[in-house]
Amino acid sequence: MIVRSLAQIVGTPAEVSAKTWTSRRLLLAGDRMGFSLHDTLIHAGTQTRMWYQNHLEAVYCVAGKGTVEVLKSGEKIAIGEGTLYALDQHDEHVLHAETEMRMICVFNPPLLGGEVHDENGAYPAAKHPGG
Ligand code: 9YT
């Protein structure tokens, strides 16, 4: 069994920061679970464009509020504490964070570790089976 606390992640290479977010990666490909699990903070007042072409991601908001904008349809969906969105169509989207948002994110296939978004808002495809 793997037991891990957020405090063990903060300040290590598994805490990854970009301009608009900080992702604390609690489970990664090396844990061989078939997914990665992140506790991610989205900074207040920011907009993040994402398009995970190589991954499926589920995002469960546990604090804060904002809007997810689906670029293909133009739909804007309010996201707050207790709301999940799952990018089952690899949907290109923009997350508008009104306040700081705390998100629990699950990626399939799992991230390897230090990934940050490329120019399209994607993470690179995993290069080995299971992540
Ligand atoms: C909600 C979201 O996808 N934010 C971007 C960061 C990413 N999910 C991560 O690596 O934790």
Q: Cβ(62)–Cβ(104) under 8 Å?
A: yes
DSSP-based three-state secondary structure for 58: strand
pLDDT for residue 128 = 53
Q: Rounded to two decimals, what is the model's pTM?
A: 0.92
Scanning the structure block, which residue is given the tokens 């920011």?
A: 46
Ligand 1: residues whose CB is within 6 Å?
21, 23, 38, 40, 42, 48, 50, 57, 59, 95, 103, 105
125 pLDDT tier (thresholds 50, 70, 90): confident
Rounded to whole angstroms, how far apart are CA atoms 104 and 107?
Answer: 10
Report pLDDT digits (tens) over 70-116. Answer: 999 999 999 999 999 999 999 999 999 999 999 999 999 999 988 88
Number of H helices and E strands in the chain, helices first, is: 1, 10
Ligand 1 geometric centre to CA of 129 (Å): 22
Residues in a beta bridge with 96: 47, 67
pLDDT at 66 over 90: yes
Residues contacting residue 27 through CB under 8 Å, at least 6 positions apart: 2, 4, 33, 35, 36, 37, 110
pLDDT for residue 127 = 63
Take atom 11 of ligand 1 and give the residue whose Cα is closest. Answer: 23
Report pLDDT digits (tens) over 3-60. Answer: 999 999 999 999 999 999 999 999 999 999 999 999 999 999 999 999 999 999 999 9
Residue type, 28: L
pLDDT at 129 over 50: no
pLDDT for residue 131 = 46
* Residue 127: φ, ψ to 5°: -105, 0
Ligand 1 geometric centre to CA of 39 (Å): 9
pLDDT for residue 124 = 85
